[in-house]
Amino acid sequence: MHIVITGVTRGLGRALAEWYIAQGHTVSGCGRSGMEIFELRSVYPEPHNFDVVDVTEVVKVGMWSERIMGTGTPDFLINNAALMNQPAPLWQVPAAEFSKLVDVNIKGVVNVIRAFVPAMVEAGHGVIVNFSSGWGRSTAPDVAPYCASKWAIEGLTKSLAQELPEGLAAVPLNPGVINTAMLQKCFGADAGSYPMAQEWAQKAAPFILSLGAKDNGQSLSVP
């Protein structure tokens, strides 16, 4: 399988990439940290591909996709890259912080879809997995920007599912509650009571590979 993952340098993206590579799949990923991308390249050389790409930059995302698809159209496209706002009442969230979150969590997902999905449609197969959240189906105080972005991912993905031809699938996937830097930002020390990303990947990675056309448009959660 050829699996493309955004936000691959840390957290869930990194854990998924390492699990898939260990199982013999080919992973192409992007992230914003040059140091961590260099590390991934060193540890996991070709046929795997890791590049410094900011998903908010349309032209660079397009250039990245063209290079990656020279090695084959993705079987799975996993939109994982996302930001969490500094917890605060909505009226206290700075405009610049809100805009950056929307740029990454919503526009970034669309940029990646625009760059990869036409080739997947032409190939007649592939699964687009857009990471949602429990906060994409419920709400909580002090995380309104994040909730709004993940509710948007739910609707965007379900609409995309209706547009795809037979044989493809788009799935909004709630990964669950995992002890990552993002969770620590919200939960503080309480984040330690949840599984680490590597433990989570043991269930999540094979579950994602089980997704197919039968799941198109369904809001799913990692068991």
Q: Which residue of the set 20, 44, 146, 194 is catalytic?
A: 146
20 contacts 1 by C-beta, under 8 angstroms: yes
For 160-177, letters b (16+ CB in 10 Å) and e give bbeebeeebbbbbbbbbb
* Beta-carbon count within 10 A of 67 CB: 12
Q: Where does the chain have alpha helices with state H?
A: 11-22, 34-43, 58-68, 95-102, 108-123, 144-163, 181-187, 197-209
CA diameter of the chain: 48
Supply the DSSP symbol for 70.
G
Instruction: Give the dihedral of Cα atoms 188, 109, 165, 74; nearest 10 deg.
Output: -90
Active site annotation includes 146: yes
Residues that are catalytic: 146
